[in-house]
């Protein structure tokens, strides 16, 4: 394992680094609107009289998709983190089915819940213009389009699915902080399921070029600053009672489990879900203090997804966690 990487991972996150990240970040647009919708969502889905063992009060914040790091304030170029958003979108469906209400913090343009069976470009592939005034769904896609629209809209209209989009690392962390503060009173009934692929490095706003960087100036040297490890803040300060699950993504299988274990200890996660890029849709390894469970997609069933048994396991371990507080 890379010693330098190791040393960095084990470094405590100084609070002043976190403060300066937020202080220098561009102002979050719609912050008041987001706070209002979060408050309504929490009021609607939790009741102080509810028993912790029931699923009624359970809420999960699912993060999904990759964060971008802009290189210019008027952004033309950016660095991206790979994530299609499929894990987050599929998990949202399984958590809703399990009786949870879901805050879905997703990258704009990434996969959406209930849409996985749609073709890549649904607008162009599913519809035909019948005549000048009407558009029809092609018979082949009619059922898929119908269920995507109805299930998605029903969950939003019922108030059990709140969708909040982000693009940049700044938006992602600012909204995550708002969510965690809003879910504070949900206590152990809240889960953070952090499937988003989050940038490790960024260009601080104050040192970022305003305009498009000019290629005429020759090769580009960029110095990236390390993003403060917000997992510690989330776990210890923002939502200390919640059940915390982070993901560890590697391309080198040999270091995957060691890295997942390190994240478990360093950030005091309740669960770290280890996955390897090329096999992430087939298998994940759930790492906790007590166990390591390999979760596989049921390849005997057409269309089966690894998120189905994964969410089932998470719900079970969350129930055990909640029971400790319910006595």
3-state secondary structure at position 282: coil
H or E element: which one contains 136?
Answer: strand 134-137
* Contact pick of 280, 297, 317, 318 for ligand 9Z3 (by CB under 6 A): 280
Nearer to ligand 9Z3, 58 or 86 (CB): 86
Q: 292-297: long-range contacts at Cβ-Cβ below 8 A with a sequence spacing of 24 or more? A: 292/257
Applying CB under 6 A, which of residues 176, 275, 306, 314 lies at the interface with ligand 9Z3?
275
The residue range among 71-79, 131-139, 194-202, 308-316 that interacts with ligand 9Z3, by the rule CB under 6 A, is 194-202
Do the Cβ atoms of 90 and 307 come closer than 8 Å?
Answer: yes
How many residues bind ligand 9Z3 (CB under 6 A)? The answer is 15
Structural tokens at position 25: 């970040």
Query: CA 86, 259, 250 angle in degrees (round to 5)?
Result: 40
- Residue 228 makes CB contacts below 8 A (sequence gap 6+) with 13, 14, 17, 18, 21
**Smallest distance, ligand 9Z3 to C-beta of residue 63, A:** 9
25-84 residues near ligand 9Z3, rule: CB under 6 A: 83-84
CB 272 within 8 A of CB 263: yes
The set of residues, in sequence order, having a beta carbon less than 8 Å from that of 146 and lying 6+ positions away, is 137
What one-character DSSP code corresponds to residue 277?
G
CA nearest to 71, candidates 172, 178, 183, 203: 203
Q: Which stretch binds ligand 9Z3 (CB under 6 A): 46-54, 136-144, 172-180, 246-254?
A: 246-254
Question: For residue 281, what is the DSSP state?
Answer: T
Interface mask toward ligand 9Z3 for 87-126; x: CB under 6 A: x---------------------------------------
**165 and 106 in contact (C-beta within 8 Å)?**
yes
Given candidates 198, 233, 295, 315, which one binds ligand 9Z3 under the rule CB under 6 A? 198
Q: Token pair for residue 136?
A: 């029809």
Q: Which of 162, 183, 191, 195 binds ligand 9Z3 (CB under 6 A)?
A: 195
269 touching ligand 9Z3, by CB under 6 A: no
Span of 12-20, 116-124, 149-157, 190-198 interacting with ligand 9Z3 by CB under 6 A: 190-198
Instruction: Between 62 and 197, name the residue whose CB sits nearer to ligand 9Z3.
Output: 197
Of 131-139, 174-182, 192-200, 296-304: span binding ligand 9Z3 (CB under 6 A): 192-200
Helix axis angle, 15-24 to 169-182, nearest 10°: 110
By CB under 6 A, residue 247 contacts ligand 9Z3: yes
Least CB distance from residue 134 to ligand 9Z3, whole Å? 36
Q: Cβ of residue 84: shortest distance to ligand 9Z3, in angstroms?
A: 3
Among positions 92, 112, 246, 266, the unique one binding ligand 9Z3 when judged by CB under 6 A:
246
> Residues for the chain: how many in total?
327
- Which residue among 70, 85, 113, 188 contacts ligand 9Z3 (CB under 6 A)? 85
Cα–Cα distance, 299 to 233 (Å, whole number): 38
Q: Kindly report the backbone phi and psi dihedral angles of residue 319, in degrees, each rounded to the nearest multiple of 5, phi listed first.
A: -60, -45
Candidates 103, 118, 155, 197; binder of ligand 9Z3 (CB under 6 A) is 197
Backbone angles phi and psi of 126, in degrees to 5: -100, -15
Q: Judged by CB under 6 A, does residue 318 bind ligand 9Z3?
A: no
- Residues forming the site for ligand 9Z3 (CB under 6 A): 83-87, 194-195, 197-198, 246-249, 275, 280
């Amino acid at each position: 394992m890379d010693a330098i990487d190791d040393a960095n991972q084990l470094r405590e996150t100084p609070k002043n680094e976190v403060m300066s990240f937020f202080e220098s970040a561009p102002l979050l647009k719609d912050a008041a609107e987001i706070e209002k919708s979060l408050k309504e969502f929490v009021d609607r889905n939790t009741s102080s009289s509810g028993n912790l063992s029931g699923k009624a009060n359970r809420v999960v914040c699912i993060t999904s998709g990759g964060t971008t790091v802009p290189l210019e304030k008027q952004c033309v170029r950016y660095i991206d983190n790979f994530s299609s958003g499929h894990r987050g979108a599929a998990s949202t469906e399984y958590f809703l089915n399990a009786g949870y209400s879901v805050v879905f913090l997703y990258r704009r343009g990434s996969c959406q819940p209930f849409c996985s069976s749609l073709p890549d470009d649904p607008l162009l592939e599913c519809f035909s213009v019948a005549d000048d005034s009407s558009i029809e769904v092609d018979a082949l896609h009619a059922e898929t389009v119908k269920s995507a629209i109805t299930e998605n809209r029903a969950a939003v209209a019922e108030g059990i699915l709140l969708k909040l989009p982000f693009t940049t690392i700044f938006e992602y962390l600012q909204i995550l902080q708002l969510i965690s503060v809003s879910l504070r009173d949900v206590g152990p009934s809240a889960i953070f399921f952090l499937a988003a692929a989050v940038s490790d490095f960024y260009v601080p706003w104050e040192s970022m070029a305003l305009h498009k960087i000019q290629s005429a100036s020759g090769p580009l040297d960029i110095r990236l600053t390390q993003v403060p490890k917000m997992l510690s803040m989330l776990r210890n300060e923002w939502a200390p009672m919640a059940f915390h699950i982070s993901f560890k993504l590697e391309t080198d299988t040999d270091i995957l489990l060691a890295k997942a274990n390190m994240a478990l200890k360093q950030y005091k996660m309740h669960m770290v879900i280890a996955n390897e890029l090329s096999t992430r849709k087939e298998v994940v390894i759930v790492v906790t203090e007590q166990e390591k469970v390999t979760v596989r997609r049921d390849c005997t069933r057409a269309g089966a997804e690894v998120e189905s048994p994964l969410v089932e396991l998470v719900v079970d371990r969350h129930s055990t966690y909640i029971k400790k507080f319910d006595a």
